[in-house]
Amino acid sequence: MGEEKGGIATRTTLAITMKFFIRTFGCQMNQADSACLSGRLIEAGHQNTEDPEEAQVIIFNTCSVRQHAEERLFQNLNALRPLKKKRPELIIGLIGCIPALRRETLFRSFPHLNFLAGPENLDTVPDLISRSKNGAQIAVFDSKLPPHLTSPTRGKESCGVVSPARGEEGGVNVSAFLPIITGCDNFCSYCVVPFTRGREKSRPTGEILEEAERMVANGVKEIILLGQNVNSYQETANKNKGIGFPELLSRIAGLSGILRLGFMTSHPKDVSPKLFKVIAAHSNIYRHLHLPLQSGSDSILKAMHRGYTAAHYRQRIKEVREIIPGLALTSDIIVGFPGETEDDFKKTLSVIAETKFDDLFAFKYSDRPKTKAEELGGKIPEKTKEDRLARLWKLQDGISLKKNLETKGKTFEVLLLTESRKRPGFLLGKAENEKKILVPGNAKLVGSLIQVQVTSVDRRLLYGVALEQTA
Ligand code: 5AD
Ligand code: SF4
């Protein structure tokens, strides 16, 4: 169904070439979707531009996971009003999670918008652009896979290949995101994702393997598998029934030419020693697990509908550290979930102190429409959330710095991914445990594996010198 529509859209838009600008907010899945859409539009005869001033079509790919993300998007959207006034023929579209959540009401608040499409309807965008030319306002929301997850006819080189390691000025993209499963069935009580990205849908294994091979043929060295919950991956095509995430990961790691393989995000209720053993068995899989804890208090975890206890989480950490030496561990935490007491929060701090994560993503709880948590009493004042977040960072900053200091003098095998934007003459790479490391070096080395000795560190980064090239 998606490919039919995509095909028709491609033909109808070929006639007029337009310059388009896409800005991406939010998660890696959005980045992968934007890269795919960009490829689609180029295939349809349009041209990409990095300059919104010269664009005839401006598209924002949006995130609704926290209220702050929505507010930021709305500010950016308001900033386009003068441009639209100056150039009424400018086409402005919103895609992704905010239109999926807010739907047509957006046209009332932002009359300068031309089209809206949910994350599952990106294949309709070429057609929406074409139909927006007469000033119409159009919205498409229905539940099916986004184009890069359905269509065997999708652009061979257009999808999946995105930064953080985008080769600049014609350089090679050595890093790519590869979505393997979209949507989420977990319905954590705070989370809007099941309402914006719909139910879980796994891509056929064969299609994923083919895409990984295509990426490698195009010069990609690092692939990051994406899914809201990668551990729920389950092959659905009859032929290969039974393939779950550990098996899929093992098969991709076995393809030749993949120097590094990563994945995110995992769910603590679904990870198992089977997965950890696959990681341990393949030297090209990053020794890194991102395992969101959210809270260290059992009563809060229950109210969050997370499906595990703090003891279960600790047990998984113990197992994974035993099976994978040198593992880096990161996590997500929410502070100030409704009803969170000082005692609950202290339980979160003690899991953090005990586990010693390499780093965290920590957020203040944010009410989201349609979620169960929105209806809960016991909302925590903003000031308390801020205080708790500050206390959390004070603890974690110390742990992160200490962990990084432990690497000083050690040697890692580093995949060089891109030139540093901030430090000319430096390359950004990742060690075997996916920690980022800056190394002085020539851009020609991007894509190669080198031995790097860590010479200094700060809380966020390692700095090193190249010893020798290994691949
Ligand atoms: N408020 C705060 N943080 C949230 N997250 C998801 N929903 C919310 C919310 N309503 C966080 C979780 C998740 C990460 C991607 O975003 O920690 O793991
Ligand atoms: Fe949201 Fe929970 Fe699904 Fe993650 S697992 S996307 S937090 S509902």
Q: What is the DSSP string of 194-206?
A: HHHT-S-EEPPHH
The answer to whether the beta carbons of residues 228 and 237 sit under 8 Å apart is: no
* Ligand 1 centroid to residue 137 C-alpha, Å: 32
Confidence of residue 141 (pLDDT cuts 50, 70, 90): confident
CATH 2.40.50.140 domain residues, the chain? 411-469
Q: Please report the pLDDT score of residue 239 as a whole number.
A: 56
Q: Which residues approach ligand 1 with their CB closer than 6 A?
A: 65-66, 190-191, 292, 294, 332, 334, 363, 365-366, 368
The answer to whether the beta carbons of residues 207 and 13 sit under 8 Å apart is: no
The answer to whether the beta carbons of residues 431 and 437 sit under 8 Å apart is: yes
Residue 62, amino acid:
T
Atom of ligand 2 nearest to the CA of 332: 7
* Ligand 1 centroid to residue 294 C-alpha, Å: 8
H or E stretch at 72: helix 67-78
Identify the burial level of 33 via C-beta atoms within 10 angstroms of its C-beta, where 0-12 means exposed, 13-18 middle and 19 or more buried: buried
Q: Please report the pLDDT score of residue 233 as a whole number.
A: 96
The answer to whether the beta carbons of residues 204 and 235 sit under 8 Å apart is: yes
Q: Please report the pLDDT score of residue 144 as a whole number.
A: 54
CATH superfamily of 3-149: Methylthiotransferase, N-terminal domain (3.40.50.12160)
* Ligand 1 centroid to residue 421 C-alpha, Å: 29
The answer to whether the beta carbons of residues 59 and 36 sit under 8 Å apart is: no
Choosing from 64, 363, 372, 379 the residue with most ligand 1 atoms within 8 A of its CB, the one to mutate for a pocket test is 363
With 90 as the cut, is the pLDDT of residue 11 above it? no
Q: Which CATH class is domain 175-405?
A: alpha beta
pLDDT tens digits, one per residue of 37-54: 999 999 999 999 999 999
pTM of this prediction? Answer: 0.91
So what's the architecture of 411-469 in CATH? Beta Barrel (2.40)
| Phi/psi at 285 (5° precision) | -90, 130
With 80 as the cut, is the pLDDT of residue 334 above it? yes
Residues 6+ away with beta carbon under 8 Å from 458: 401, 404
With 80 as the cut, is the pLDDT of residue 162 above it? no
| Phi/psi at 359 (5° precision) | -160, 165
The answer to whether the beta carbons of residues 417 and 369 sit under 8 Å apart is: no
pLDDT tens digits, one per residue of 381-416: 999 999 999 999 999 999 999 999 999 999 999 999
pLDDT tens digits, one per residue of 183-241: 999 999 999 999 999 999 999 999 999 999 999 999 999 999 999 999 999 987 655 56
CATH 3.80.30.20 domain residues, the chain? 175-405
The answer to whether the beta carbons of residues 24 and 30 sit under 8 Å apart is: yes
Q: Is the peptide bond preceding residue 205 cis, with omega within 30 degrees of 0?
A: no
Q: How far is CA 369 from CA 99, 132, 141, 195, in A?
A: 13, 29, 18, 9
Most confidently modeled range among 44-48, 120-124, 166-170, 277-281: 277-281
